[in-house]
Amino acid sequence: MDKILKKNTLVVLLVLTAIFTGKVQAQVLPNLGQTDKWMTGAIAAMERQDFVTANNIFRNLIDSGLPLPEEMPYFFAETLYHLDQFDNSANFLNKYLELTGFTGENYDGAKELKEKLSEPLKSIQMCQLCDRRGYRYKACFTCDGNKEIEQDCDYCKAKGVVGCSRCGGTGMITKKNIFNIVEYFECERCAANGRLTCPVCQGTKKEVSACRTCGGSGRLASDAICDHTEEVHDHDVVPEN
Ligand SMILES: [Zn+2]
Ligand SMILES: [Zn+2]
Ligand SMILES: [Zn+2]
Ligand SMILES: [Zn+2]
């Protein structure tokens, strides 16, 4: 199996490193290239509580497309937890547990983190002010939170009129009299115009309908992490001119 092969390779490398350098560091893997440089850097940043830097390094690692080290999702989940990105943290933690099962080097830490996450995840679920990932809602910029917005009438394609269905838009109606002769009458419905005022927009060419930007909800998730309290935050206030 691939995994066993990888493990064996790692053991050989550790032994070789031990021979050449005379020591094996606990958490730091032998230098296998850029991935390990990033991992070492990120873990060092975590140790000095600099989770913003750790986050940036982990994201570089993910963006690089290089294969991710087995323990990486755990460390990333810890970092995200400290940045209050609880939903994201849970995603990586679950991935870690799914991939490593009971055999992960950080299994105990992962179990502990899962425990720590349960409370904040519950708060997100119960909060009405943020989306299910914990990001605070803000008013939709298209409809200004009104859910509906005035736009071109779809029914008449903003013409304000529609063809009369009774006369087929001709303004005339034909009937056969008792002598089987076709007689023409003016269409009463459209007063022989062949057209009627649009019944949806009443001729205004505009209609008020659900905002397409927010799907009619009036709100969009922002990139601000919600603290689940009603109080107005600085970033929620629109400055007046
Ligand atoms: Zn909207
Ligand atoms: Zn008509
Ligand atoms: Zn219309
Ligand atoms: Zn909230």
What digits encode the pLDDT tens for the residues 172-223? 999 998 999 999 999 999 999 999 999 999 999 999 989 989 999 999 999 9
In the reported structure, the alpha carbon of residue 140 is separated from the centroid of ligand 1 by a whole-number distance in angstroms of 5
Task: Give tens-digit pLDDT for 15-40.
Answer: 434 444 434 444 444 446 899 999 99
In the reported structure, the alpha carbon of residue 196 is separated from the centroid of ligand 3 by a whole-number distance in angstroms of 10
Give the closest ligand to the alpha carbon of residue 225: 4
In the reported structure, the alpha carbon of residue 211 is separated from the centroid of ligand 3 by a whole-number distance in angstroms of 17
Residue type, position 103, single letter: T
Does residue 183 contact residue 177 with C-beta atoms inside 8 Å? yes
In the reported structure, the alpha carbon of residue 195 is separated from the centroid of ligand 2 by a whole-number distance in angstroms of 6
CA 150, CA 12: separation in Å to the nearest integer? Answer: 69
Residue with tokens 């803000």: 138
Domains in the chain, start-ordered, CATH in brackets?
31-135 (1.25.40), 140-220 (2.10.230)
CA 133, CA 84: separation in Å to the nearest integer? Answer: 11
Asked if pLDDT for residue 11 goes beyond 80, the answer is no
Asked if pLDDT for residue 239 goes beyond 70, the answer is no
CA 109, CA 7: separation in Å to the nearest integer? Answer: 21
* pTM of the complete model: 0.60
In angstroms and rounded to an integer, the radius of gyration of the C-alpha atoms of the chain is 33
Taking alpha carbons only, the member of 75, 97, 98, 105 closest to residue 10 is 105
pLDDT of residue 33: 87
